[in-house]
Structure formats: C-alpha cells, structure tokens
Amino acid sequence: MRLLAKADVPYGTASELAAARLIALLPAQWACPRLECTPTTPTLTLAPPRPAPPREASWAEVIRVVDEALAQSTLRGWARAPS
C-alpha cells in the first residue's frame, strides 16, 4: 500500500514519520514487514492477522482500517494511493 503526500501536508513532514504514525494507529495484531520511503511517498506492506479458517482478511477490510487511520489529525495531508 502506498501513501501520497497531498498539497496540505505540513511542511517538513517526512514520509518515514507518516509511515510510523500509520503503523502506530493500526490494530495491535497487525504487522508491517516491509517499508520503503521516498521524500514524498512511503510504501508499506501490511500484514493483518489471519482470522480462523476459512475466512481471511479481505482487501476491503485492510482499506477500511487504513482509511480510518488516515482520518486521524496526526496524518493530515497524507492519502492512500489508488490501487
């Protein structure tokens, strides 16, 4: 999943800081096994917990959780890149 800096991102807010804030807002059972950052774009691999079989976390659930985190004031100016 990629995040993009929007026009209203606070000056000097590094993509690494945005990624760290997003990870901190995820549910406790989630993991981020991979993170790559450019000055304006963090790219994260997110690993939600695996529900008991036969159900697995859907992409829609991942999007919902990330969008809820991005709505927090600490992530003002950041948006999820279209997939």
Please give the pLDDT value at position 4. Answer: 84
Distances (CA, A) of 50 to 35, 43, 47: 20, 21, 8
Average pLDDT, the chain: 85
Residue 62 C-alpha from the chain's centroid: 9
Whether 21 is in a domain gets the answer: yes
Whether 78 is in a domain gets the answer: no
Please give the pLDDT value at position 24. Answer: 94
pTM of the model: 0.80
What whole-number percentage of the chain has pLDDT above 70? Answer: 87
Whether 51 is in a domain gets the answer: yes
Q: How many domains does one find in the chain?
A: 1
From CA 66, how far away is CA 71, in angstroms rounded?
9
Whether 50 is in a domain gets the answer: yes
Q: Which residue has the higher pLDDT, 36 or 82?
A: 36
Domain that holds residue 12: 3-73
Please give the pLDDT value at position 20. Answer: 93
Whether residue 75 has pLDDT greater than 80: yes
